[in-house]
Amino acid sequence: MTIPAEIDTPDIMIDLDILERNIARMAAAVREKGLALRPHAKTHKVTEIAARQMAAGAAGLTVATIGEAEVFADAGIEDIFIAYPLWISPQKAERLRRLASTATISVGVDSAAGATTLGSSLGQAAGSVSVLVEIDSGHHRSGVRPEAAAAVAEASSRAGLKVAGVFTFPGHSYAPGMPAEAVAQEQQALREAAESLAAAGFEATRRSGGSTPTALLTDGSEATEVRPGVYVFGDAQQLELGRCAMEDIALTVAATVVSHHETPPDAPARFIIDAGSKILGSDRPAWASGFGRLIDHPDARITALSEHHATVEWPDSRTLPPLGERLRIVPNHVCLAINLVDDVAVTSNGALVDRWAVGARGKNK
């Protein structure tokens, strides 16, 4: 696909046709398993994409912050899960109270102290907020051991909050060969946590799991819902993990070749494009083959990244793309890339058809 002339570089492009296919495919696959789909909107931060996810049957959205929840609630999304162990400041309490008066809000908790603070800060409004206890299923970030879920649920209940269930993020699935093992650990953790709650008299109505690398491997025996995010766009990480193919990539960064590095004879040929870490993001897991991929040149690699430059190592030293040529880059981690722009170019059949605001960009609080 040629980059439409109206698009100057660097810019983020969304292929609407691929986006809609990705949304429909995940919706159908999750529905077939009897699971609810609650896509994580931190990936896209765009209300037009959330609307398409809801129209395809999503049960609601997942977000990471109150600020993201505010944007999507303002856009009419009625059921939002803030999948994060919020520590409630006075400012956050005020905003969460307001939010809970306009939408069905659930939030994560992973400590008795966090639950107590949440409930007491919300006061009268505590009863209108549900909590899901976060479980560590092997990622070792936030979350309690499954057998410790009941204590957090009890503290939540004492604080006036409704206990809706348990959730986990199997983030350790983000490594080659790990998804199957991470899913098994996730399912076991959800079961044990639900048992912990049951023993204390709580029903874990919602048992919520990750995530783009694992969602299609999860069955409905332990989980009731999944929260994939990246599947709408795909990215170089998912590509290298084997969770999507190049033709599933819906988000690319349009870039221009701005410099031909004078390569020493014994070094691989390389050139510089005008897309750096301030539009691609600089995530690079140890197993990734570079800082991003080129959609039409699968053998090329981005070997170095500055704020406004990427160094592309080129497989064929005889035919470097000329200065001024425009290329499409697949970022390693789309969630970071789209958070760096105010709006995105939307294309269909190779033509620019719209621009969408990234409404929840920068909503870190």
Residue 66 to residue 86: CA distance in whole angstroms: 9
- Taking CB under 8 A as the criterion, the residue among 2, 265, 266, 307 binding a second copy is 307
For the four alpha carbons of 213, 139, 183 and 151, in that order, the dihedral sign comes to negative
Q: Coil, helix or strand for 233?
A: coil
- Structure token pair of residue 13: 């492009």
Q: Coil, helix or strand for 243?
A: coil
Q: Is 256 in the site for a second copy (CB under 8 A)?
A: yes
Q: Is 278 in the site for a second copy (CB under 8 A)?
A: yes
Q: Is 336 in the site for a second copy (CB under 8 A)?
A: yes
Q: Is 99 in the site for a second copy (CB under 8 A)?
A: no
Size of the site for a second copy (CB under 8 A): 62
Q: Residue type for 208, please?
A: S
- Taking CB under 8 A as the criterion, the residue among 128, 205, 282, 348 binding a second copy is 282
Q: Is 340 in the site for a second copy (CB under 8 A)?
A: yes
Q: Which helix (H) or strand (E) holds 19?
A: helix 16-32
Q: Considering only residues 15-44, where is the footprint of a second copy by CB under 8 A?
A: 42
326, 9 contact by CB (below 8 A): yes
Q: Which helix (H) or strand (E) holds 175?
A: none
User: Looking at 25-33, 188-196, 241-249, 268-276, which segment touches a second copy (CB under 8 A)?
Assistant: 268-276
- Taking CB under 8 A as the criterion, the residue among 257, 295, 312, 327 binding a second copy is 257
Q: Distance from CA of residue 339 to its chain's centroid?
A: 11
Query: What are the residues facing 207 on neighbouring strands?
Result: 166
356, 14 contact by CB (below 8 A): yes
* Closer by beta carbon to a second copy, 31 or else 141: 141
Q: Is 274 in the site for a second copy (CB under 8 A)?
A: yes
> Which one, of 354, 328, 365, lies nearest residue 47 by Cα?
354
Q: Which residue has the tokens 């999503």?
A: 58
User: Looking at 54-62, 136-144, 159-167, 230-238, which segment touches a second copy (CB under 8 A)?
Assistant: 136-144
- We find the least distance from the C-beta atom of residue 249 to a second copy, in angstroms, to be 20
* Closer by beta carbon to a second copy, 77 or else 275: 275
- Count the neighbouring beta carbons within 10 Å of the beta carbon of residue 123: 11
Residue 251 to residue 152: CA distance in whole angstroms: 39
- Taking CB under 8 A as the criterion, the residue among 101, 102, 221, 259 binding a second copy is 259
- Taking CB under 8 A as the criterion, the residue among 180, 323, 351, 353 binding a second copy is 323
* Closer by beta carbon to a second copy, 104 or else 142: 142
* Closer by beta carbon to a second copy, 89 or else 221: 89
- Structure token pair of residue 251: 């988000």
The alpha helices in 44-178, defined as continuous H runs, are 47-55, 66-74, 90-100, 112-122, 149-158
Q: Which residues contact 233 (CB under 8 A, 6 or more apart)?
A: 14, 19, 22, 43, 44, 249, 250, 251, 334, 338
Q: Which helix (H) or strand (E) holds 21?
A: helix 16-32
* Closer by beta carbon to a second copy, 1 or else 323: 323
Residue 339 to residue 362: CA distance in whole angstroms: 6
* Closer by beta carbon to a second copy, 53 or else 311: 311
Q: Is 281 in the site for a second copy (CB under 8 A)?
A: yes
Q: Considering only residues 142-171, where is the footprint of a second copy by CB under 8 A?
A: 142-145, 148, 171
* Closer by beta carbon to a second copy, 8 or else 247: 8
- We find the least distance from the C-beta atom of residue 17 to a second copy, in angstroms, to be 25
Q: Is 110 in the site for a second copy (CB under 8 A)?
A: yes
- Site residues, a second copy (CB under 8 A): 8-11, 42, 64-65, 84-87, 89, 91-92, 110-111, 113-114, 117, 136, 140-145, 148, 171, 256-262, 272, 274-275, 277-279, 281-283, 304, 306-309, 311, 322-324, 335-336, 339-342, 362, 364-365
